[in-house]
Amino acid sequence: MALDRFGRDIHYLRISLTDRCNLRCVYCMPEDMTFRPRPELMQDDELQLLVQLFIQLGFHKFRLTGGEPTVRSDIVEIVRRIAHTPGVRSFSMTTNGLLLKKLAQPLAEAGLQRVNISIDTLDPVKFKRLTRWGEVEEVWDGIVAAEAAGLTPIKLNAVVVRGYNEDDLPDLAALTLYHNWQMRFIEMMPFGDVANFQQSQIVTAQEMRDKIEAAFGALIPVEGGKLDGEARLYRLPEGLGDLGFISSVTEPFCASCTRARLTADGKLRMCLLREYEVDLLTPLRAGATLDDLKALILKAVYHKPWGHGLAHNVVPLNRVMSEIGG
């Protein structure tokens, strides 16, 4: 078991496979983003070795993210390798869904269990404005393919951005009237060069709930408003699926955080919103022993920050979201 100094059991690793993405969402990265040369990213064997080490230290829940994980050309093989590593109990992916129409079935056959798919609006014009060039129909095809392939329960993510999609919450929430999906609304978090925009255009979880209640009436808390991971769950009256609100900025859930993040260039980041990272890939390439690497991981876990410092205006500047993975 990997415990931090506050006694939290850290067992959930989110792995970014690449910093590249086939979209340029306004809340995620600058339009002129430059990407790391591929040799600087973890290669398949390196990734597999690190996953094995994390499992030996008590990690059992894994999620692939990015950038966009599906743009990695060998994504199905990566999924197969991780899924078949003894000790992996939960294995999912966060994706924009654009490539799922063709990849959902092969990914499911390779052992992926579930997907979270990002869809910030159902309006094609607004979707293009938010993502700078995406086609929302392709995401919809991806959601349908994921459900058909059994990558369920389907969870959908929408980051809410003032001036872009805050009026679309009722339409997104209404998806749960007819589908047993979890529609999650995310408060925008600030990072690096995009932080000013992110802080000025944030919509709080309370405002999101108010907008949905204005359209549908009072939301019904699921299991007394308990957290599901980072999402606080509600239902629409008559709803089949759930609504989740992720309030990382205004109502953080750091006390129950069990996560660590491995960036595509092999840095172990212990809090999404703190710059603290420990490099694993450089020592691995320099010939560190497995015991050395495990000691580095345990040290990083031990020093996991308690939580973010947004209330004190501490914003992480060393990476934007697409370089960390959500």
Q: Residues in the site for ligand SAM, rule: CB under 6 A?
A: 21, 27-28, 65-66, 68, 94-96, 118, 157, 159, 186, 188-189, 191, 198, 321-322, 325-326
Report the nearest approach of ligand SAM to the CB of residue 305 (Å).
18
Which residue's CB is nearer to ligand SAM, number 157 or number 165?
157
Strand duo 231-235 + 220-221: pairing:
antiparallel
Q: For residue 61, what are the β-bridge partners?
A: 12, 90
Q: CA dist 297 to 130, 278, 302, Å?
A: 37, 8, 9
**Cβ closest to ligand SAM, residue 189 vs residue 284:** 189
Instruction: Please state the closest distance from residue 12 (CB atom) to ligand SAM, in A.
Output: 15
Give me the least distance between CB of 295 and ligand SAM, in Å please.
Answer: 30
Give the integer Cα–Cα distance in Å for 99 and 212: 30
Closer by beta carbon to ligand SAM, 96 or else 176: 96
Q: Provide the 8-state DSSP code for 234.
A: E
Nearer to ligand SAM, 108 or 186 (CB): 186
> Smaller CB distance to ligand SAM: residue 27 or 164?
27
Cα separations (Å) of 63 from 149, 170, 204, 242, 262? Answer: 18, 29, 26, 21, 10
CB of 60 to ligand SAM, least distance (A): 21
Q: Which of 61, 58, 67 is nearest to 29 (CA)?
A: 67
With contact defined as beta carbons under 8 Å apart, do 163 and 197 qualify?
A: no
Torsion, CA 200, CA 306, CA 280, CA 34, rounded to 10: 0
| Residues 50/292, Cβ–Cβ less than 8 Å | no
Residue 68 Cβ vs ligand SAM, minimum distance, rounded to whole Å: 4
Comparing every residue's Cβ against ligand SAM, the nearest one is 326
| Contact predicate 320/196, CB 8 Å | no
Tell me the closest approach of the beta carbon of residue 289 to ligand SAM, in angstroms.
33
Q: Which CB, 156 or 296, lies closer to ligand SAM?
A: 156
